[in-house]
Structure 1
Amino acid sequence: VEDAAATAAAAEANGGHVVVPAMEVMDLGAMAVLADAGGAGVGVWQPGRHRGFEVIAETGAPTWFELHTRDYEASVAFYRDVFGWDTHVASDVPEFRYTTLGEGDDALAGVMDAAAMLPEGVPGRWSIYFGVDDADATLAQAVELGGSITRPAEATPFGRLAELGDPTGTAFKIIQP
């Protein structure tokens, strides 16, 4: 973001709240931690000497970010209004409501209506997808290193997808194109 403090103020003005106020991180940049309109945590980074992500959409790097939220409409509006992202409705049927933040190859992330999946009172959460060359080999290596498989690899229109947890239980997803 261009200004972490201004983004935090915009979050509060659009139904979110500040968890950790904007603060300088040496000369590297500034950060803030927010909760969006659906309660999901989101960090913001204002680059200084450290730009942030330099590799994306490659093997071993983040390839996609996805928000699962009980408050779909408020969450989509939050990211559109706070970050100025264009939104594109990918699906709007009762069984599957999904909006991308950006369109086509310019999409940054997706927002999924998870009201039927998340229990009442559970805030939304972001998932991160990492690109891998071989989903099955990656799952085997993760288990060897103390991780756990929460959803085995399966074929999807986007590639072989799996969900796992690191040794502390933090969930993430992998995708093999």
Structure 2
Amino acid sequence: MVFRDTPWPEGTPSWVDVMVPDVSRAVAFYRALLGWRFEDQGEEYGHYQIATVEGRSAAALGPKPPDLADVPSTWTTYLAVTDVDKSAAKITEAGGTLLIPPGDVGESGRMALAADPAGAVFGLWQAKENPGLQIANVPGTLVWNECMTSDFEGGKAFYGEVFGYRLEDMSGDGFSYVTLNVGDRPVGGLGALPADAPESAVSHWATYFGVADTDAAVAKVRELGGTLFGEPHDSPYGRMAQVADDQGARFTVISVET
């Protein structure tokens, strides 16, 4: 279990959220699946819903803007930065694109939304009063984030240049993967999309949520109207499965100790 009440180190995934067509439906889905409670941030923030575990911030749901109605719902990973404006400049200098320029979110912090050169979308979060995640690595919370990319070498260069990660090679037979390390601690991953990935597969950041029992979580996803992509399987890091909620937002569930 990880508790946090101060800003996360530079480059660490420090927040995740998803924009959906029907927020009430999403609240019901994730409450039933992950046990989240919700704090409505009010009309000023579009009734953005902060999910909590043990009274601590774990993720959030928000309404999808009308101009994005045709864009698939996806979980967005936000990387902690100490100066969002400087980080945004680094992104464009390294060949990335700013989708939403830096801006304040009240007194909570300052954020921006960007895409790397291969098109994977991610956010930046400069904490002020809100550090972002206040709990992680237990059932119902964020466990891991990774960028799966169509340009593995380009991705390594981009994220290394922008965030200063130390890259640790974990590649094996038939796959290419590095961990993104802040100091000696891996905070995320970067992997090449599989050679047999469908043409529709695009570069993206993936979100992993911890559960106590992956098979039970998959059964619950199906019961709630979600989707399973491949049967649950064991890994060195826990039993896992890729799923989507009942509005199409994909994520991975992985078993962690309670």
Q: TM-score, normalised by structure 2?
A: 0.64
Report the equivalent of 1:90: 170
CA distance in 2, matches of 1:121, 1:165: 16
Given residue 107 of structure 2, which amino acid in structure 1 is its aligned partner?
D
Q: Relative to structure 1, is the Cα distance of residues 67 and 30 closer, same or farther in structure 2, using a 3 angstrom cutoff?
A: same
Is 1:160 the counterpart of 2:239 in the alignment?
yes
Q: Relative to structure 1, is the Cα distance of residues 92 and 144 closer, same or farther in structure 2, using a 3 angstrom cutoff?
A: closer
Aligned-pair distance for 1:115? 5.6
Please provide the CA RMSD for this pair: 2.0
Aligned residues: 176
The range that moved more, 42-51 or 107-116, is 107-116
1:4 to 84, 104, 122: 84
Q: Relative to structure 1, is the Cα distance of residues 10 and 121 closer, same or farther in structure 2, using a 3 angstrom cutoff?
A: farther
Correspondences of 1:49-64 after superposition (within 5 Å): 49-64=129-144
Q: TM-score, normalised by structure 1?
A: 0.91
Report the equivalent of 1:30: 110
CA distance in 2, matches of 1:170, 1:33: 18
For structure 1, the 5+ residue unaligned runs are: none
Is 1:170 the counterpart of 2:249 in the alignment?
yes
SS in 1 for 2:171: strand
Q: Relative to structure 1, is the Cα distance of residues 49 and 103 closer, same or farther in structure 2, using a 3 angstrom cutoff?
A: closer
Q: Write out per-residue CA displacement over residues 7-34 of structure 1, whole angstroms, 9 at most, x where no aligned residue.
A: 1110001111101100111111111000
Q: Relative to structure 1, is the Cα distance of residues 117 and 7 closer, same or farther in structure 2, using a 3 angstrom cutoff?
A: farther
2:93 to 13, 25, 28: 13
The range that moved more, 154-163 or 38-47, is 154-163
1:131 to 206, 210, 219: 210
Given residue 65 of structure 1, which amino acid in structure 2 is its aligned partner?
N
The range that moved more, 44-53 or 95-104, is 95-104
SS in 2 for 1:157: coil
Report the equivalent of 1:145: 224
SS in 2 for 1:76: helix
Report the equivalent of 2:153: 73
CA distance in 2, matches of 1:158, 1:76: 23
The range that moved more, 50-59 or 104-113, is 104-113
CA distance in 2, matches of 1:54, 1:38: 30
2:179 to 100, 104, 111: 100
Given residue 112 of structure 1, which amino acid in structure 2 is its aligned partner?
G
Q: Relative to structure 1, is the Cα distance of residues 123 and 9 closer, same or farther in structure 2, using a 3 angstrom cutoff?
A: farther
Q: Which runs of 4+ in 1 moved over 6 A?
A: none
Aligned-pair distance for 1:120? 5.6
Q: Write out per-residue CA displacement over residues 123-165 of structure 1, whole angstroms, 9 at most, x where no aligned residue.
A: 4111111111111111112222221111221112222110110
CA distance in 2, matches of 1:151, 1:22: 38
